Chain A
Amino acid sequence: MNNIKVVGVGGLAASNQADDIIKTFALGSCVAVIMLHPGARAVGMVHIALPDSAVARGNIGDRPGYFADTGIPALLKQMAALNWGVNDNRGMIVKLVGGAKVMDPNNVFTIGKRNILAVKKVLWSLGMGPRAEDVGGAISRTVTVPVATGQVHISSPGKEDWRI
Chain B
Amino acid sequence: MTDKIDRNEILAAVRGVPLISTSAARLLELANRDDHNLLDIVNIVRCDAALTARILTAVNSATLRRGKEISSIDRAVAVMGEEMVTGFAMSDAAGLLFQSDLEGYAANRGDLWRHDLRTAIAAKKIAAHARSEVNAELAFTGGLLHDLGKAIISDFLKGRISGIVNNIETGKYPDYPSAEREELGVDHCDIGLELATYWGLPEPLRQVIRYHHHPLEAAPRFRPLVFVVHLGDIVAMMSGSGTGADAMRCNIAPAYTDYITLDKDDLARIIFAVETEFNTITSSLSDKGEGST
Chain A interface residues toward B at CB < 8 A? 9-10, 25-30, 49-52, 55-56, 66, 100-109, 111-112, 114, 138-140, 156-159
Contact = CB atoms under 8 A, between A and B. Distances in A.
Interface residues of B, number: 36
Contacts of A106: 254, 256-257
B254 A29 contact: no
Contacts, number: 97
Interface string B90-119: 000000000000000111000000000000
A157 B106 contact: yes
Contacts of B268: 50-52, 55, 111
Interface of B: 105-107, 161-162, 164-166, 168, 234, 237-242, 244-245, 247-249, 251-252, 254, 256-257, 262-265, 267-269, 271-272, 275
Given A50-B268, A109-B234, A158-B165, A28 B248 contact: yes
B239 A108 contact: no
Contacts of B242: 26, 28, 140
A9 B275 contact: yes
A55 B269 contact: yes
B245 A66 contact: no
Nearest to A114: B264
Given A28-B238, A140-B242, A158 B252 contact: no
B19 to A, nearest CB: 32
Nearest to A111: B238
A103 B11 CA distance: 34
Nearest to A102: B252
B235 to A, nearest CB: 8
B248 A157 contact: no
Nearest to A63: B275
Contacts of B107: 157
B239 A104 contact: no
Nearest to B236: A28
